[in-house]
Amino acid sequence: MIWKVKKIGVWPMGNLGPNGWEGPKYDPLNHTLLGWEAGAVQDRKYPIDNGAFCFHSDLLGKLLIGPKYWPTDFSGGESEFIGLMVKTKEEIEPICYNCHVAWHNEPLPKECTDLQLCG
């Protein structure tokens, strides 16, 4: 799945936010983006954890120009980093739709295997 990403791919991250998840929420029938679950900082354009996105390496040197690739000097900065590569939320590519397979700073629970929905 990750190998097919053209710009930015995202998935929900567990152990974050008031509802336990942070990341995109999709309509289960037509897979359109409904909104975002945000963690501690609610006003981010792209509320995504560092461990919940990937990007195509061709963007390094094209859209991301060094020597400083990370756009902030403060903790976090994921939203700002993603904003360097996409201008709208519609450009973000879902790796899965409403899946619950990644947990922040914890291993996957034993009852969750493969791409089962856990929650």
CB atoms within 10 A of CB 91: 12
Report the domain count for the chain.
1
Distance CA 17, CA 39 (A): 3
106 in a domain, yes or no? no
117 in a domain, yes or no? no
The strand ranges marked E within 3-113 are 8-10, 13-14, 21-26, 33-37, 53-55, 93-94
Pick the closest to residue 17 from 57, 44, 56 (CA basis): 44
10 in a domain, yes or no? yes
CB atoms within 10 A of CB 101: 20
pTM, 2 dp: 0.75
Please give the positions annotated as active site: 78
pLDDT tens figures, 3-36: 889 999 998 888 876 777 888 999 989 988 898 8
Instruction: Give CA torsion, residues 99, 29, 36, 56, to 10 deg.
Output: 60
66 in a domain, yes or no? yes
pLDDT tens figures, 29-83: 998 889 888 877 778 888 888 889 999 988 888 877 776 777 777 778 888 889 9
Beta carbons of 56 and 7 less than 8 angstroms apart: yes
62 in a domain, yes or no? yes
How confident is the model at residue 61, as a pLDDT?
Answer: 80
Q: What is the CATH number of the domain that holds 16?
A: 3.90.550.10
Which amino acid is it at 40? A
Query: Domain containing 42: what range?
Result: 2-94
Distance CA 49, CA 72 (A): 15
Q: Which residue has the higher pLDDT, 110 or 49?
A: 49
